[in-house]
Structure 1
Amino acid sequence: MSSSIDLDKYFQRINYDGSTTHSLATLKALQYRHTQAIPFENLNPLLGISVNLDLESLQAKMVDNKRGGYCYEQNLLFKHVLEELGFQVKGLSARIRWQKDADEITARTHMLLQVNIDNDRYLVDVGFGNYTMTGPLRLETEIIQETPHEERRLIKEGDIYTMQVQLKDKWEPLYRFDLRPTHLVDYELKSWYLSNNPGSHYVTGLTAARPTPNGRYTLKNNRLSFHHLDGNTENNYLNTVAELQSILEDIFLLDLPDLPTFDSKFLQIVKQEKEAISRM
Structure 2
Amino acid sequence: MLDLESYLRRIEWVGPLAPDLATLTGLIQAHLCAIPFENLDVLLGRRISLDLGDIQRKLIGGRRGGYCFEQATLFDAVLQAIGFRTSCHLARVVLAAPRHLSSRTHLFVLVDLPEGRFVADPGFGGPAARGPVLLADIGASPATGTNHWFSFADGAWVLHGRDGATETELWVTELATDYPIDADVSNHFVSTHPASIFTTAIMMNRFTPDGRVSVMNRNVTLWRAGESQTWELADRRALRHLLAERFGIDLPEVESLTASGIPDWS
TM-score exceeds 0.5:
yes
* Alignment correspondent of 1:41: 38
- 1:133 and 1:82 map into 2 onto residues whose CA distance is 17
- 2:92 and 2:236 map into 1 onto residues whose CA distance is 34
Structure 1 unaligned regions, length at least 5: none
- 1:146 and 1:65 map into 2 onto residues whose CA distance is 39
Please tell me the root mean square deviation across aligned C-alpha atoms, in Å: 2.3
**What amino acid is aligned across from residue 111 of structure 1 in structure 2?**
L
* Alignment correspondent of 1:189: 185
1:11 paired residue among 2, 8, 23 = 8
- 1:239 and 1:17 map into 2 onto residues whose CA distance is 39
* Alignment correspondent of 2:238: 243
Using the TM superposition, give the Cα deviation of residue 168 of structure 1 relative to its aligned residue in structure 2, in angstroms: 2.5
- 2:181 and 2:58 map into 1 onto residues whose CA distance is 20
**What amino acid is aligned across from residue 11 of structure 1 in structure 2?**
L
1:217 partner SS: strand
Using the TM superposition, give the Cα deviation of residue 103 of structure 1 relative to its aligned residue in structure 2, in angstroms: 6.7
The change in CA–CA distance for 1:79 and 1:223 in structure 2 (over 3 A counts) is same
- % identical aligned pairs: 28
**What amino acid is aligned across from residue 6 of structure 2 in structure 1?**
K
Pairwise mapping of residues 67-216 of structure 1 onto structure 2 (< 5 A)? 67-100=64-97, 102=98, 104-118=100-114, 120-142=116-138, 144=142, 151-216=147-212
Deviations 1:193-245 (A, max 9, x none): 11111232111121110111222211011111123564x53210111322210
Contact residue 236 and residue 257 of structure 2 kept, 8 A: no
**What amino acid is aligned across from residue 222 of structure 1 in structure 2?**
R
Contact residue 41 and residue 209 of structure 1 kept, 8 A: yes
Runs of 4+ aligned structure 1 residues displaced above 3 Å come to 143-147, 227-230, 272-276
* Alignment correspondent of 2:50: 53
* Alignment correspondent of 1:24: 21
Q: Does 1:264 align with 2:256?
A: yes
1:63 paired residue among 60, 65, 69 = 60
The change in CA–CA distance for 1:40 and 1:159 in structure 2 (over 3 A counts) is same
Question: What TM-score comes out, normalization by structure 2 length?
Answer: 0.91
The change in CA–CA distance for 1:145 and 1:211 in structure 2 (over 3 A counts) is farther
Deviations 1:13-35 (A, max 9, x none): 01111101111111001000001
Pick which of 86-95 and 179-188 moved more.
179-188
